[in-house]
Structure 1
Amino acid sequence: MAAISEILNKKEFSKDDIIRLLSITNKDEHELLIKKAYSVKVNTVGRKVHLRGLIEFSNYCRKDCYYCGIRKGNQKINRYSLSDEQVLQVVELARRNGLTGVVLQSGETSSQLFTERVTNLIAKIKEITDPGFRITLSLGEQTPETYRQWFEAGAQRYLLRIETSSEKLYRKIHPDNELHNFKTRLECLKNIQNIGYMAGTGVMIGLPFQTIENLTDDLLFIKERKIDMVGMGPYLEHADTPLYNYKDLLMPQTERLKLSIRMIAILRIMMPDINIASTTALQSIDPSGRELGLQAGANVMMPNLTPLKYRSNYLLYDNKPCIDQVADDCLYCLTKRIKMIGEDIAYNDYGDSMHFINRKQPQ
């Protein structure tokens, strides 16, 4: 078996190398991986953390993904949709606090009315912010025409998580119908890149039926597809979902956390110049989870700025943190915690993915 130190000194990881790194159980080897990833982060993107204000503006969804708490089939939640005025108030709060961008996220909807609504909302955000203010969309699968319309309206980034790069596993965590199609997901991701967005994706770690080889393939997929930004974290179960029936197959949450941290670290080494988010799901397992993500190579955080009264209705998984904390308190808390581990918040810095910038430069 190859020594971890030998693998970490390689310029490129083989599939077997990645499997070996993900399979670490020794604490010293784990720390060696984390230390290497952090040094790559510092030398490439620095000790800067970029904040994106997350606005969960609607929990209406047409999808029935088996893992998700806001799936269409869950009748136990209250559906909501923020008004444009409410969204703009949150954008103003983000701008006032030195943030240079927001993430507009919702359950998946696909209609001409929704397309026009988002297009107009992007235009309104542009009117009250500076020309460079970044708008990230996380609105699921759409037609190429819709993606292009939103891009031309002024959105610069799009996050579409593939959840898994394994079609076999994808089918286990989604209904078997045309609305939940693996090839459609891949095609949408390709369209997003071709249109010119900074393209983001991500996977869930520790799913039922998932193997270490699946996760290895996920990392290789992200690199091969030249993804610019990644948000990935531990799978966390929700009691009102079909996948909850398989909870006894899951590894302990603490192990899912460690595995997620290793995924971040390996990806940072494999793709030094991308943006990697330290996700809220990490904090759901460990109060310092998001800090652990930063120390493993992540450089982005997305404080939840959704109005407090709606947050408990946007639970993709159980025990989601920060649902009882007003936006100003959430920002203050994150700021304090980031500084405590020696990182700096990159206020007034757009924080575009260096990978995207390098990818767009003429060769």
Structure 2
Amino acid sequence: MKALIDKLRRDGRLRPAEYLRLIELADPSVSEYAARTARAVARERFGGGVFIRGLVEITSFCRNDCLYCGLRRSNTALVRYRLGEEQIAAACRAGHAAGFRTFVLQGGEDPALEDGRVERLVRRLRAEFPDSALTLSLGERSRDAYRRWREAGADRYLLRHEAADAACYARLHPADMSQQRRMACLSTLRELGYQTGAGMMVGAPGQTADDLAADLRFLERFRPEMVGIGPYLPQRQTPLADSPPGSADRTLLLLSLVRLMLPDALIPATTALASLLADGRERGILAGANVVMPNLSPPDVREQYAIYDHKLASGAEAADGLRELAGRLDAIGYRIDYARGDFRADL
């Protein structure tokens, strides 16, 4: 098994059966070897720095009805909010003063976020923060919308592919959502010159080891600049509320495998992992992650962005907790890197 880890580090790819074998059969010693190897690769590329991204969750409205997500349109118990342009700019301004040089604007697929409105917001932020990277994560949009936002100054776009296997995707989404469309959006983003992020949940209801192996094969082919991997966490107002959370250990293994596959990728230690484990952020970094995304959203709305239960939005997961974050990183031999942290394959 350890020979497969070494092969992945050397070649950046494995055969489908080899991915499956690692996912199904990796014991704690193999997982630790994968983490140690992935950590060494990340250190070679990025040193001891961990990039920070300032996350602004701009709207909790969503037109979709994904079976796992608390923002789903059928969740009438959720108190919704939508940040105004001034609130978003103020959050980024506070983040910039604190040292952030990347801002991530994330939200549900809010019908009120018209293409032109987002374009104006991006132009404003690009003009005010010319030294900072702007990342959008606003779901599936038209090619024209993606083009306009890119031309306005957006640098990156995060759109998890969710599931490379069509049947697995269908188990998590309503019939009016299409895995084919999701993949087409990712291809469009790449064509338009975005640094593009994909990724998936680990342990989603009905997900199999074969499904995860298919995800790895997709990431190997697509080679996104960013990869988000976190455990599935249930939300009490969804049809999948009674499903158990995903395995932290398997999530960490997948994170390590992706680091070995994509040594230059920007991979966050996700909030979901930190919400599942008290030391999830640190364990993610020690497994090969090199990004954390503290929350810059106004404190009074953070709990309303309830994509899953018990989501962390304070302490080291918040922008106002940078001192705590720095201390926790220092305890494991890392430091905050305040650079933009653009993807560079020649690092």
TM-score, normalisation: structure 2: 0.94
Q: Distance in 2 between matches of 1:224 and 1:57?
A: 32
Q: Distance in 2 between matches of 1:195 and 1:25?
A: 38
Mind listing any 5+ residue stretches in structure 1 that lack a counterpart?
359-363
Q: Distance in 2 between matches of 1:298 and 1:257?
A: 14
Deviation at 1:213, TM superposition (A): 1.3
Give 2:178's aligned residue.
Answer: 181
2:295–2:319: 8 Å Cα contact kept in structure 1?
no
2:123 partner letter: A
2:94 partner letter: L
> Given the alignment, which residue of 209, 215, 218 partners 1:218?
215
2:294–2:316: 8 Å Cα contact kept in structure 1?
no
Give 1:137's aligned residue.
Answer: 136
The 1:193–1:262 alpha-carbon spacing in structure 2 relative to 1, beyond 3 Å, is same
1:305–1:326: 8 Å Cα contact kept in structure 2?
no
Deviations, residues 113-158 of structure 1 (Å, cap 9, x unaligned): 62111111112112322x2310000000000000000000000000
1:43 matched to 2:44: yes
Deviations, residues 31-84 of structure 1 (Å, cap 9, x unaligned): 111111111111123222110000001111100000000111100011111111
2:65–2:72: 8 Å Cα contact kept in structure 1?
yes
Q: Distance in 2 between matches of 1:185 and 1:327?
A: 30
Deviations, residues 152-196 of structure 1 (Å, cap 9, x unaligned): 00000000111111110111111112xx11111111111000000
1:84 matched to 2:75: no
Give 2:170's aligned residue.
Answer: 171
Q: How does 1:246-285 map to 2 (within 5 A)?
A: 247=243, 250=244, 253=245, 256-285=247-276
Identity of aligned residues (%): 36
What secondary structure is seen at the aligned counterpart in 2 of 1:68? Answer: coil
Give 1:309's aligned residue.
Answer: 300
2:52–2:100: 8 Å Cα contact kept in structure 1?
yes
Q: Distance in 1 between matches of 2:325 and 2:317?
A: 12
1:199–1:229: 8 Å Cα contact kept in structure 2?
yes
Q: How does 1:1-363 map to 2 (within 5 A)?
A: 4-10=1-7, 11-12=10-11, 13-110=14-111, 114-129=114-129, 131-177=130-176, 180-245=177-242, 247=243, 250=244, 253=245, 256-323=247-314, 327-347=318-338, 349-355=339-345
Q: Distance in 2 between matches of 1:328 and 1:109?
A: 25
Deviation at 1:243, TM superposition (A): 1.8
Q: Distance in 1 between matches of 2:198 and 2:81?
A: 25
Deviation at 1:110, TM superposition (A): 4.5
1:241 partner letter: T
1:165–1:214: 8 Å Cα contact kept in structure 2?
yes
Q: Distance in 2 between matches of 1:269 and 1:326?
A: 26
1:238–1:316: 8 Å Cα contact kept in structure 2?
yes
Q: Distance in 2 between matches of 1:42 and 1:326?
A: 23
Mind listing any 5+ residue stretches in structure 2 that lack a counterpart?
none
1:59–1:107: 8 Å Cα contact kept in structure 2?
yes
Q: Distance in 2 between matches of 1:324 and 1:38?
A: 25
Deviations, residues 70-106 of structure 1 (Å, cap 9, x unaligned): 1111000111111111111111111111111100001
Deviation at 1:326, TM superposition (A): 9.3
Q: Distance in 2 between matches of 1:154 and 1:87?
A: 16
1:78–1:313: 8 Å Cα contact kept in structure 2?
yes
